Structure 1
Amino acid sequence: MPHVLITGSSDGLGLMAARLLIGQGHTVTLHARDTARAAHTRAVLPAAENVLVGDLGSLDGIRSVATQADAAGRFDAVIHNAGIGYREPRRVETVDGLSQLFTVNVLAPYLLTALMTLPDRLVYLSSGMARGGDADLSDAQWTDRRWNGAQAYSDSKLFDVLLARGVARHWPDVLSNSVEPGWVATRMGGPGAPDDLAQGPVTQAWLAVSDDEAARVTGRHFYHQKRRSVPAKASEAKVQDALLDYCARLTGVSIRASR
């Protein structure tokens, strides 16, 4: 059975996806930001194989999680679920001098993808708010603009679509797709979210393990197991590569190098 890693899986959709996959008989490794969250996660889902610990809000933390992941053995699929939401009231700067939201939502999946042993499948969590995102990288760290949490989040979720599609182009041997789980009532989504919470983890779990022909595709975007369109710029190779090159400059690791 497939061996799956899910980042940001101490609660919310990540934990729900883990429960779903374990219930189907798959082997799942979880990830938590710190040791306290990891202990809680082990307690609420003892059937998980392991819990990796590391703060994805710093480059060193991301590298640590990648090292732990490779030490655990090769994964068949990775679901990049970890993320910061759109309600952030101000720009938070990381120890690396970068936007925390950009680091967790974009650089973490980028750098983990670049550093980890290549799995068969990669799934990147995006959002319907990606449709309002801007692919312009001239101030992606929000150092020159007045902070707008909703716009920064929307941009980051569009970048996740670009990341999934860029990886699909450069690494044709891996199935790389993005997912919008819907606006659901998690801690991030808020109690008034209107979408079906039960459907929130289904598509990413399906893309990670299913043998259905519809799931064995690459460079696609999904909502509730159906393909969904994305902004036209997300399909442009030069826009995808601009993001990959930008992340490479920030991390010192290129995802475009041959694997």
Structure 2
Amino acid sequence: MKTILITGATDGIGLATARELARQGCELVLHGRSEEKARRACDAVRAVAPAAVLHSASADLADLAAVAGMARELAARLPRLDVLINNAGVYMTERRISHDGFEMTLAVNHLAHFLLTGRLLAVLKRSTAPRVVTVSSMVHAGGRIPFDDMDCERNFNGYQAYANSKLANVLFANELARREPWLTSNSLHPGVIGTKLLHAAFSMPGGSVAEGARTSVYLATSPEVAKLTGRYFDVCTETAAAAPALDRQLAQRLWTWSERAVGSFAGPAD
């Protein structure tokens, strides 16, 4: 039985991913911003998979200390972690600043997952075939990494900030694959799915959340991708990421910047 942690598992694609993985018999850790939300997600999953083995975890991803604390707590109680699904994401229509002083989209979508993954590497190492799955988006193609204005102080545009964070997701997944060859690290586009995020960002209809969960579930469980790493997927199919996402120097530079950004919160959780 695989043990899988899903961030942002309280609704949308994350909850749909949890439901499907529970049906497949996986042991799940469902993350929510609050313990109450995470427990409600567990109840929702049990409604479709009554025998599921479920755990809850909570942290505000806009607070790096909370992310580090959750990682520490998980490392202490999980015998191992087979799969980490970095799923949580936000889209901000106005510029907001995180608890640690970063633009909120970048803080939640990239920095929180960069920190969480790093802190859980030791727990992932306890698995015989660990996987990290990072949910990006096709909009990463329009992203850029503005090192001279990472917090969008000079010019904030919600769509651009989101696209930038999704580019950061693919760059992170690819660089993680290069740095940690003992695990597989892949990223994906879930599709144009009718989530709260889509409605807030684009005011348009989309596909079902079950559809949106398919590629995450595939990358977390399929034997077909057991040896594939540093790849980008769309509709359960490997496809080419946009050119900036394949830039190794950019990925290394972003990694170094991210290490400095998470600062004292970095390091193993156990």
Q: TM-score, normalised by structure 1?
A: 0.92
Shift of 1:140: 1.4
Moved more, 218-227 or 112-121: 112-121
Relative distance call for 1:234 and 1:169 in structure 2 (3 A) is same
Counterpart for residue 114 of structure 1 = 118
> Is the Cα contact below 8 Å between 1:9 and 1:15 reproduced in 2?
yes
Trace 1:90-169 onto structure 2 (pairs within 5 A): 90-116=94-120, 117-119=122-124, 120-143=130-153, 145-169=154-178
Deviations 1:188-226 (A, max 9, x none): 1227333454321011111112212x4530000001111
The number of residues matched between the two structures is 253
CA distance in 2, matches of 1:136, 1:77: 31
Runs of 4+ in 1 over 4 A off after TM superposition: 253-257
Counterpart for residue 20 of structure 2 = 20
Counterpart for residue 33 of structure 1 = 33
**1:192 pairs with 2:204:** yes
> Is the Cα contact below 8 Å between 1:170 and 1:256 reproduced in 2?
no
CA distance in 2, matches of 1:131, 1:26: 33
What percent identity do the matched residue pairs reach? 33
Counterpart for residue 60 of structure 1 = 65
Q: Which amino acid aligns with 1:133?
A: G
Q: TM-score, normalised by structure 2?
A: 0.88
RMSD of aligned alpha carbons? 2.0
Gaps of 5+ in 2: 47-51, 125-129
- State the SS of the aligned residue for 1:179: strand
> Is the Cα contact below 8 Å between 2:14 and 2:87 reproduced in 1?
yes
Gaps of 5+ in 1: none
- State the SS of the aligned residue for 2:101: coil
Counterpart for residue 220 of structure 1 = 231
Q: When you count helix as a share of all residues, which structure comes out higher? A: 2
Shift of 1:115: 0.8
Counterpart for residue 248 of structure 1 = 259
Moved more, 109-118 or 125-134: 109-118
